[in-house]
Amino acid sequence: MKAEQQSLFEMNPAPWDQDDAREQLVATLIFSRGPQQPFDYRVPDRLRGEIAPGQRVRAPLGKSDRLVTAYCVRLASSMSGAALKEVDSIVDRQSLLSPAMLRLTEWMAEHYMCPWGQVIEAVVPGGVRAQAGTRQTQFVSLPNRAHARLGHMKLTPTQQRIVDYLAGRPAPTPIVQVARAAGCTVGPIQTLQKKGIVELETRRFDSSPIEDSPAATEAHLELNSEQRLALDAIAAALDSRAHSTILMHGVTGSGKTEVYIQAIQQVLRFGRQAIVLVPEISLTPQTEARFRSRFGNVAVLHSHQTDAQRRRHWEQIAAAGVSVVVGARSAVFAPTPNLGLIVLDEEHENTFKQDSAPRYNARDVALERARAEGIPLVLGSATPSLESWQRTVTGEYRLVSLPRRVFDRPLPQVITVDLRVEFRDRRSRGAISRQLQLGMDAALKAGGQVILLLNRRGYSTHIQCPSCGLVMRCPHCAIGLTHHVHGDQAICHYCDYQVPAPTECPECQFAGIHYRGLGTQRLEAEVRARFSGYRCLRMDTDTMKQPGSHERALSAFRDGEVRILVGTQMIAKGLDFPNVTLVGVVNADTALHLPDFRAAERTFQLVTQVAGRTGRGEKGGRVLVQTFSPDHPAIMAAVRHDFETFAAGELPVRKKYEYPPFGSMIRLVVRGPAEPVAAEFADQVATRLRAALEKAAVQARVLGPAPAPIAKLRGNFRFQIQLQGVDSEALRHAVREATDALKPPELVQWIADVDPVDML
Ligand code: ADP
Ligand code: ZN
């Protein structure tokens, strides 16, 4: 390295001898495929005025000088005489990424250990890159100077019609439209161009322009005193014109959304834009409707949109054509030109983390963006993540609390049903305990509605032969198969492998194979049998595959047509139905014993959130939580709606093991179709990691390699290495050290997941 710099220096002409060294413009390019490091290219004079950072360009790459698309990330003038290759051409007329967004992607590449080019491609939607929904065509115009020449020129009748038509149109017009108006083909128009009368230029135009947003229809609500304090805190942050983060801890139904809305109102007054991030916009059409009814001019971004729709929203946002952007995870990249506020609702949700590269968490990216743009970030939740909560303890974040529901409605009473007793006394056969049965009867008879949560889909989650003990497993994943009644299939929930459900054991041919374990399908069947007089609907990923099925199901429930809603965690989130007077958690323990350091936190969140779906109306509400562990701190705290006690009990455990929020974590997963090959490579990685940490004298733990909790997935054996330490930068550095020159054997792949959320 040293030697190279030396020689470069010597090649530079001396300052008094710089006549030959012309100042040149240098573009730094990042390739989205191929080499990961940046490359410098010379910008030829013909492109000088046009090139800008954030555009795509074409540039020669490699020995063959094949033209490849790349992103221009930097422009600088240089006096160096070094010979550089030249940029060939520019792809985008306008930058796809502002300088601020380029810096954000650079930060993500560094933080999440993902190639910069790959991050950029994840940030700019495919539909924008492909210019989906636009067409390229020729536009015709009649320049003013043509009129003078027309005087002494003889035109055919067709040509005359073309000229007459264009004379009345100041803006360039698509060529087909001109041809249609003149009743001719494009031939005569091209002839006119050759004669120098009309001008032709190629332009892109939107073949499916955006539909108009409806106007706002609803006025703001009068805030209660606690909401007002929360709004004041955000307003102060906005006024300070500097970055700060506010965590709004508000119980379910305390009116957080109303506070966001009024804070956004203030942002708009200054001509700025706001981004609102929500976990799954398609699951909560209510949220969308609420923002639309207040602001009218709202861009909603979600995963069910077509490429063309996404491209249109993106361009509209970039042109400052909308003030409020509401969307899931990737809306954090919305190209708002003058952002004033980011709100991230339900900040504890896992769906903010992307599970493919770049493995970013929108919560952390939002923080980085808010910092860079010098604007406030508002995080909201009834059950904040311990990561965010701890930052209010250290003073990094400001905490505001909404401890009461609006109109002082009481939080629902939560009662545990001890399933051990239920089991011992053989009180009930099936999933619904006697207590829950009685509760449902009472709620339904009084005209209320019931929500039942069970976080497992399918009918039987466990297919086992009682004679030889064989458990039916997926041949590609180390996962038991689940019986689905529809089509009578045994299905793998990870890879969707399906076989007809066996009637006899495939191993010993015993005829009485057992279907055990409870899924939502079986629960639904039980509910239908026990409550035949009431309509019941199941919501899980099996029944909600069709577009629009959520909206239909939720509106049937809202209308009261459906009285009992059975579902997975999908129904635990953000729904607001005033007539729900009973929520039943069928098994609170499903997540409690997973090999995940956040298992208790997840359980607390799920039970608290689903409990929050009741008691939102005047009738009040109750929650029955069935569990085998009524004494578990997570369940006990959820029963009392007591986040602070839960956090106070859980944080010392995290601290003891240096788990987040007290330490950083990087999870490496090595996978391959041959178990020993993958294991051997994982060993090698772990050894090199330990060596790298030792060399750098970094205090950190390396756990593993060990088989991942899901030891086999889609035919690949999986091994994990967990890296934990206080200095996250040092951990990243060690991973780079250990893996830079390391090439995995054929068919073996590895990933690094920084700040992992999924521990399976
Ligand atoms: P959260 O987001 O905390 O769950 P919401 O903002 O959804 O709470 O509020 C719950 C319900 O209370 C909504 O129906 C909302 O319209 C209503 N609400 C919120 N704030 C007020 C207020 N100040 N006055 C009257 N109703 C309110
Ligand atoms: Zn499988």
Among 258, 348, 408, say which to mutate for ligand 1: greatest number of ligand atoms within 8 Å of CB: 258
Torsion angle of alpha carbons 36, 37, 42, 44, nearest 10°? 20
CB-based pocket (< 6 A), ligand 1: 221-224, 227, 250, 252-258, 406, 576
Rounded distance from Cα 119 to ligand 2 centre (Å): 29
For 3, other C-beta atoms within 10 Å of its C-beta total 7
- What percentage of the chain exceeds 90 in pLDDT? 54
Distance CA 297, CA 291 (A): 9
259 Cα: distance to centroid of ligand 1 (angstroms): 9
Residue 729 pLDDT: 94
Count of C-beta atoms within a 10 Å radius of residue 305:
17
What pLDDT shows up at residue 709? Answer: 86
Question: Which tokens belong to 477?
Answer: 């994943």
Cα–Cα dist 391/397, whole Å: 5
Ligand nearest to the CA of 476: 2
Q: Which helix (H) or strand (E) holds 576?
A: none
Asked whether residue 546 carries a pLDDT value surpassing 90, the answer given is: no
Testing ligand 1's pocket by substitution, the residue of 249, 251, 256, 257 carrying the most ligand atoms inside 8 A of its CB is 257
pLDDT at 5 (0 to 100): 38
How many angstroms separate the CA atoms of 198 and 353, rounded?
Answer: 54
Task: Please name which ligand lies nearest the alpha carbon of 475.
Answer: 2
CA distance 503 to 509: 9
Q: State how beta strands 514-516 and 462-464 pair.
A: antiparallel
CB atoms < 10 A from the CB of 253, how many?
A: 22
The predicted-structure confidence for 431-459, as pLDDT tens digits, reads as follows 899 999 999 999 999 999 999 999 888 87
Determine which residue's CA is closest to atom 19 belonging to ligand 1.
Answer: 255
Indicate the pairing of strand 39-42 with strand 24-31: antiparallel
Counting from 1 in the atom list of ligand 1, the atom nearest the Cα of 250 is 3
For residues 426 and 429, give the distance between their C-alpha atoms in angstroms, rounded to a whole number: 7
CB atoms inside a 10 Å sphere around CB 309: 20
The answer on pLDDT for 17 being more than 50 is: no
Ligand closest in space to the Cα of 260: 1
pLDDT of residue 103: 95
* Mean confidence (pLDDT) of the chain: 88
pLDDT at 2 over 80: no
What is the pLDDT averaged over residues 644-650? 96
Q: How far apart are CA 616 and CA 579, in angstroms?
A: 8
User: Given strand 173-174, what is the order of strands in its sheet?
Assistant: 173-174, 134-141, 199-206
- What sign does the dihedral 39-44-47-49 (CA atoms) show? positive
DSSP designation for 499 = E
Cα 372 from Cα 487, distance rounded (Å) = 53
At residue 224, what are phi and psi to the nearest 5 degrees? Answer: -85, 175
CA 432/CA 584 separation, integer angstroms: 9
Contact 105, 360 (CB under 8 A): no
What's the pTM value of the predicted model, to 2 decimals? 0.86
Residue 170, CB half-sphere, CA atoms under 13 Å: how many?
0
Q: Please report which confidence band the pLDDT of residue 753 belongs to, taking 50, 70 and 90 as the band edges.
A: very high
Say if residues 36 and 115 touch (Cβ distance below 8 Å): yes
Closest ligand (CA of 255)? 1
pLDDT at 21 > cutoff 60: no
Residue 152 has which token pair?
């002494």
**What's the pLDDT tens digit per position in 128-179?**
888 777 777 788 988 887 777 777 778 888 988 898 888 888 788 888 888 8
* pLDDT tens for each residue of 167-217: 888 788 888 888 888 889 889 998 988 888 888 888 777 666 666 666 677
Asked if 718 and 707 count as a contact pair (C-beta separation under 8 A), the reply is yes
354 φ, ψ to 5°?
-90, 135
Q: For 570-596, write each residue's pLDDT tens digit.
A: 877 767 788 999 999 999 988 887 788
pLDDT tens readout for residues 378-426: 999 999 999 999 999 999 999 999 999 888 888 889 999 998 888 777 7
| Residue spans of beta strands (DSSP E) within 197-261 | 199-206, 245-250
Residue 672 Cα to ligand 2 midpoint, Å, equals 15
Report how far ligand 1's centroid is from the alpha carbon of 276 (Å).
Answer: 17
How far does the centroid of ligand 1 lie from the alpha carbon of residue 258, in Å?
A: 6
| Res 15: pLDDT | 47
Residue 714 C-alpha to ligand 2 middle, in angstroms? 5
What is the mean predicted confidence (pLDDT) over 27-54?
A: 92
Return the closest-CA partner of residue 421 out of 413, 433, 438: 433
Q: What is the pLDDT of residue 302?
A: 80
CA atoms of 610 and 571, how far apart (whole Å): 8
Q: What are phi and psi of 136, to 5 degrees?
A: -100, 135
Single-letter amino acid code for the residue at 195: K
Distance between CA atoms of 718 and 710, rounded to whole angstroms?
A: 7
59-67: long-range contacts (C-beta < 8 A, 24 or more apart)? 59/29, 59/85, 59/86, 59/87, 59/88, 60/85, 60/86, 60/88, 61/31, 61/34, 61/35
Q: Whose CA is nearest to atom 17 of ligand 1?
A: 255
Collapsing DSSP to helix, strand or coil, 193 comes out as helix
Taking alpha carbons only, the member of 490, 495, 496, 514 closest to residue 504 is: 514
Integer Cα distance of 539 and 549 in angstroms? 9
**6, pLDDT greater than 60:** no
pLDDT of amino acid 476: 83
Pairing assessment for the beta strands 536-539 and 564-567 based on DSSP bridges: parallel
